[in-house]
C-alpha cells in the first residue's frame, strides 16, 4: 500500500503530469522514483519522476543579492511563501481491477489529486509485471535525459528486487533495453553508459 504523500496534481495529460509540493515535502521524492495517483474504484496511474524544479520569483531574486540570508528568512520562504516545487512525471502505466497495464492510462489524473511515492512492494509488483513494457514510454521521450532516468529507475528497482530474492532483475531489464534499442545504436550506447555508472561490474 502506498502511503507517503509527496504532493498534489497541478496539470496533467495522458502521457505525463506535473505535481506541486511544498519545499518542506521535498526530502522524499527523488529523480527516477516511481509514483502513483490512486483514483476511483482501484484505478491508479503510475509514473516516473523525470524532473524536479524550483521556481524563483522577484523576492527570491532580490534576497540573493544580500550579503547573507538569515536562517529565519530562509525558513519563512520555504514554509510560508507560495513557491511550490514542481515535479514532472512521465506516465508509464496504470492499474485497473487489480491488473497492471504498461500502457498509457484511459484518462489522466485530475487537478489536486494526491500523488504518493510507491512503496517497495508497489515498485516490485509494477516492474515485475509482464515483460518490461513500460520501458518503451521512457525510450519514446526523446526530449528527456533517457539514459539518466533509466539508470536512476533501474538502480531503485534493482534494490527492491534484490531484497525480495531476485538479484538478476537489472540484468533482465538491461537485456530488454538492448533488444528495444537494437536499431538505435547512439541511444543504446548512451543508455548502457549510464547503466554502467550505476552497475560498474
Partner 1 sequence: MALDFLQIREQVRQLGENAPLREQRLQELRQQTCMLLESNAHRIEELRLKVQDVVRSHDPSLRCALPVSEALDDRFPQPDLPPQTTVLAADGSQIAPDRHAEVEYGLTNVGVIRMVYGSDAPPETTAFTRLFYDEDLYTSTGMMSDALLALRRDLNERTMLARQAAQATPPVITFTDGLMEIYASKELVGEESSEFQKSLAEYLDVLFQMQSLGVITAGYVDKPGTNLVVRLLEVAITPEAEFSEIKKRHPLRGVYDIDLYYPLLGAGERSPVFAVQSPSSKVYTGPLSLHFFYLNVGRPGRAWLARVEIPAWVAENPRMLDDLHAVLIHQCRVMGSRPYPYLLHRAHETALVSLQEKEQITAMIALELRRRGVKVGEQSSKQAAKELSSRARYEG
User: Among positive and negative, which fits the CA dihedral 166, 31, 110, 105?
Assistant: negative
72 binds partner 1 (CB under 8 A): yes
Residue 56 interacting with partner 1 (CB under 8 A): no
Contact status: 65 vs partner 1 (CB under 8 A): yes
In whole angstroms, the minimum distance from the beta carbon of 58 to partner 1 comes to: 10
Cell 522524499 found at = 28
Per-residue binder mask for partner 1 (CB under 8 A), 14-53, x = binder:
----------------------------------------
**Distance, CA of 50 to CA of 32 (rounded, Å):** 6
Tell me which residue of 67, 120, 84, 125 sits closest to 101, measured CA to CA.
125
Range in contact with partner 1 (rule: CB under 8 A) among 72-80, 111-119, 128-136, 189-197: 72-80
- Render 68-95 in DSSP notation, one character per residue: ---HHHHHHHHHTS---EEEEEEEEEEE
x/- track of binding to partner 1 for residues 137-176 (CB under 8 A): ----------------------------------------
Q: Angle, nearest 10°, between helix axes 185-198 and 169-180? A: 160
Residues that bind partner 1 (CB under 8 A): 59, 62-67, 69-73, 75-76, 78-81
Amino acid at each position: 500500500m502506498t502511503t507517503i504523500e509527496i504532493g498534489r496534481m497541478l496539470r496533467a495529460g495522458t502521457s505525463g503530469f506535473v505535481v506541486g509540493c511544498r519545499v518542506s515535502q521535498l526530502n522524499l521524492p527523488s529523480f527516477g522514483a516511481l509514483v502513483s495517483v490512486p483514483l476511483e474504484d482501484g484505478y491508479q496511474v503510475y509514473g516516473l519522476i523525470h524532473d524536479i524544479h524550483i521556481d524563483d520569483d522577484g523576492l527570491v531574486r532580490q534576497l540573493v543579492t544580500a550579503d547573507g540570508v538569515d536562517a529565519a528568512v530562509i525558513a519563512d520562504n520555504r514554509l510560508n511563501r507560495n513557491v511550490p516545487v514542481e515535479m514532472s512525471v512521465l506516465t508509464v502505466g496504470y492499474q485497473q481491477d487489480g491488473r497492471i497495464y504498461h500502457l498509457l492510462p484511459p484518462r489522466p489524473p485530475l487537478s489536486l489529486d494526491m500523488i504518493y511515492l510507491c512503496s517497495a512492494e508497489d515498485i516490485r509488483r509494477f516492474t515485475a509485471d509482464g515483460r518490461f513494457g513500460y520501458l518503451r514510454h521512457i525510450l519514446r521521450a526523446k526530449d528527456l535525459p533517457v539514459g539518466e532516468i533509466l539508470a536512476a529507475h533501474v538502480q531503485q528497482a534493482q534494490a527492491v528486487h534484490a531484497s525480495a530474492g531476485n538479484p538478476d532483475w537489472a540484468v533482465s531489464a538491461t537485456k530488454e533495453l538492448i533488444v528495444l534499442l537494437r536499431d538505435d545504436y547512439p541511444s543504446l550506447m548512451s543508455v548502457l553508459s549510464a547503466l554502467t555508472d550505476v552497475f560498474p561490474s
